[in-house]
Amino acid sequence: MLELMIVLAILSVLFASALPDLSNMLAGRQLRSASADLLAAINDTRAQAIARRRVVTLLAENGNWQQGWLIIIDANSNRSPDAGEAILYRHVAAPERLQVRARFTDNTAPAYISYNAAGRSCRAAHPNAANFGTITLELAGAQRNIKINMQGRARLCDPALEPATCASI
């Protein structure tokens, strides 16, 4: 019986020491998942714009990326889903502690990503004016960036692994 108590005590100490690593692992998984989800939404927005031959916009839910994001056909280019405008996709809220910042050439609030019929990133009200930049997702000290170039192509990168080509905003 004493041996069992000693084994349980040792196991509980080992388990308690592993908890911080588990929470970091969970945070890393949440960050990778949210980053991949947002990248997929960006790519879907581009594909929808090409398929529909019109401007399609990805924007933050209520102007806050942590609340989720929407893909819409923004007929009046006001970067807000209005009555009669199609919502093509709605993503649920991101993990609670996830911070999302966006900086684009068009710094009009709220941040958005629009694509024109040619699949190029553009300004919502000006389909021929380029809009490119970076979205930074951060959780538990780790970061992932989604870089969108002038052609509208998006790529996911880790600034810790690629400091020269994946600078944060």
pLDDT in tens, the chain (169 residues): 777 778 787 877 776 665 567 778 888 899 999 999 999 999 999 999 999 999 999 999 988 888 999 999 988 888 888 888 889 999 999 888 999 998 888 777 678 899 999 999 998 788 888 889 999 999 989 999 999 998 999 999 999 999 989 986 5
> How far apart (Å, rounded) are the C-alpha atoms in residues 18 and 42?
36
What is the rounded CA–CA span in Å between residue 45 and residue 75?
15
The CATH class that applies to domain 28-157 reads alpha beta
pTM, entire model: 0.84
User: Strands (DSSP E) along 7-64, which ranges?
Assistant: 56-60
Residue type at 138? E
Cis peptide before 110 (omega within 30 of 0): yes
**Other CB atoms closer than 10 Å to residue 5's CB: what's the count?**
9
